[in-house]
Homo-oligomer: A and B are copies of this chain.
Amino acid sequence: MPLRPENAHHARLLRVLREGPRSRAELGEVVDLSRSTLSAEVNRLIELGLVEADGLAASRGGRRSGIVKLASRLRFVGIDVGATSIDVAVTGGELEILGSVGEPFDVREGPAVVLEKAMSLLGKLRDQGLAPEIHGVGIGVPGPVSFRAGVPVMPPIMPGWDRFPVREELSQELGCPVMLDNDVNIMALGELHSGPAKSVDDFLLLKLGTGIGCGIVVDGTIYRGVSGSAGDIGHIRVDDTGPPCSCGNTGCLEAFFGGAALARDAEVAARSGRSPYLAQRLAESGMVTAADVTAGTAAGDPTSAQLIREGGHRVGQVLAGLVSFFNPGLVIIGGGVAQMGHTLLSEIRSVVYRRSLPLATGNMPIVLSELGATSGVIGAARLISDHVFSAE
């Protein structure tokens, strides 16, 4: 049976409890309700099986207040479809990960095959008894999405997915609510839920991976723009005389530092003899990838480190402009390429702090994501829990 808060107070209480158990006294401080109304609403949530009692709080002078928490039966599923991987997690109501599984998988296999794979991964988790019921599924895909329609829209690296009814298909298959968003927005939601962004209203999540994108959070919610493409910064111009890009322009950020661009530059460095490290990777596997550059940087290969620095410089140039424009409270760098860690981070910081408006960068940290690969599945679970825990 689908969960349904009966009114806006229920929705508000459920969202507060998503942050963890609360005493009834604490809930009263957060939610602006009379003592008797609050008590009635909480009791109703317990009747509905959405909330359960969890002992008594320590005394604060008067009668001890009862602690309540989200029902332990609640289960959300987060699915993060990347360009080359699928990750699935089952969470409880507080979005804590109860179990997760991931596999390399090519999104170009098309929606039917990819979603079947996702269902089979979910099946593995359910076989372990992790999710007897499922109360909602959030899913992210690596391309533009019509959030209202729940379908991908002209996604450049996802052949066969255009307008495929992902939300409807999964919803019918699993018999529960499903929400679809792009991979960058779900990462930003993951950071909003459990990362350093938890206490920041307005922030940017920069994803550096096969593609480059930006999650925009305004006042604690994802800003999607009028056609859902906000944050799609991979084709912002860095330099007119730069390399040609898959989009048909030249000098786009992705043409400098997307996954394909990095592999291209690494191969040139391998073939030219400039990097013995990359030459060896090329000889061993017949190709060099962005991941080889990451590994090379970690292994002390100066050419790999230089490629990362050059890329970080380009990212910094674009980010500096966005920081001047948007004046965020925090910038988080995530995605596969972010594993290049502090070499990348220091270059990005250097450019942004030099080129952005000082008033905008005064108190603005630039940090690496601490959640890493789990931010996507947590964010996907957050996406659907926002929907389920709403009164609309």
Q: A interface vs B, CB < 8 Å?
A: 144, 153-154, 200-202, 214, 216, 218, 223-233, 235-237, 249, 317-318, 320-322, 324-329, 354-355, 357, 359-360, 362-364
**Nearest CB of B to A185, in Å:** 12
Q: Kindly state the separation between the CA atoms of A230 and B30 in the bound complex, as whole angstroms.
A: 30
**Nearest CB of B to A318, in Å:** 7
**Nearest CB of B to A139, in Å:** 20
Q: Which residues of B contact A355 (CB under 8 A)?
A: 235, 237, 249
A355 nearest in chain B by CB position = B237
Pick from B216, B235, B317, B326: contact of A237, CB under 8 Å:
B317
Tell me whether B228 and A327 are in contact (CB under 8 A).
yes
Pick from B232, B322, B325, B359: contact of A359, CB under 8 Å:
B232
Tell me whether B327 and A226 are in contact (CB under 8 A).
yes
Tell me whether B225 and A360 are in contact (CB under 8 A).
yes
Q: Which residues of B contact A327 (CB under 8 A)?
A: 224-232
Tell me whether A233 and B359 are in contact (CB under 8 A).
no
Tell me whether A229 and B359 are in contact (CB under 8 A).
yes
Given contacts A218-B218, A225-B202, A226-B201, contact A236 B324 (CB under 8 A): yes
Tell me whether B363 and A236 are in contact (CB under 8 A).
no
A-B contact pairs, 30 of them (CB 8 A): A154-B359, A200-B226, A201-B226, A214-B325, A218-B223, A224-B327, A225-B328, A225-B360, A226-B328, A226-B329, A226-B364, A227-B359, A227-B362, A227-B363, A229-B327, A229-B359, A230-B325, A231-B325, A232-B324, A232-B325, A232-B360, A235-B355, A236-B320, A236-B325, A237-B320, A237-B321, A237-B355, A249-B354, A318-B321, A322-B325
Number of identical monomers bound together in the oligomeric complex? 2
**Nearest CB of B to A190, in Å:** 21
Q: Which residues of B contact A200 (CB under 8 A)?
A: 226
A320 nearest in chain B by CB position = B237
**Nearest CB of B to A247, in Å:** 8
A251 nearest in chain B by CB position = B355
Q: Which residues of B contact A233 (CB under 8 A)?
A: 321, 324-325
Q: Which residues of B contact A232 (CB under 8 A)?
A: 324-325, 327, 357, 359-360
Q: Which of A200, A226, A360 has the most CB of B within 10 A?
A: A226
Q: Kindly state the separation between the CA atoms of A154 and B225 in the bound complex, as whole angstroms.
A: 31
**Nearest CB of B to A252, in Å:** 9
Pick from B226, B235, B317: contact of A324, CB under 8 Å:
B235
Tell me whether B227 and A360 are in contact (CB under 8 A).
yes
**Which 7 pairs show the lowest CB-CB distances between chains A and B?**
A225-B327, A230-B327, A226-B329, A236-B321, A229-B359, A229-B327, A229-B360
Tell me whether B229 and A357 are in contact (CB under 8 A).
yes
A330 nearest in chain B by CB position = B226
Q: Which residues of B contact A360 (CB under 8 A)?
A: 225, 227, 229-230, 232
**Nearest CB of B to A203, in Å:** 9
Q: Which residues of B contact A153 (CB under 8 A)?
A: 359
Q: Which of A144, A216, A359 has the most CB of B within 10 A?
A: A359
Q: Kindly state the separation between the CA atoms of A216 and B225 in the bound complex, as whole angstroms.
A: 12
Q: Which residues of B contact A202 (CB under 8 A)?
A: 225-226
Q: Which residues of B contact A236 (CB under 8 A)?
A: 320-321, 324-325
Q: Kindly state the separation between the CA atoms of A329 and B216 in the bound complex, as whole angstroms.
A: 17
Q: Kindly state the separation between the CA atoms of A122 and B74 in the bound complex, as whole angstroms.
A: 63
Q: Kindly state the separation between the CA atoms of A201 and B226 in the bound complex, as whole angstroms.
A: 8
Q: Kindly state the separation between the CA atoms of A217 and B319 in the bound complex, as whole angstroms.
A: 20
**Nearest CB of B to A294, in Å:** 26
A363 nearest in chain B by CB position = B227
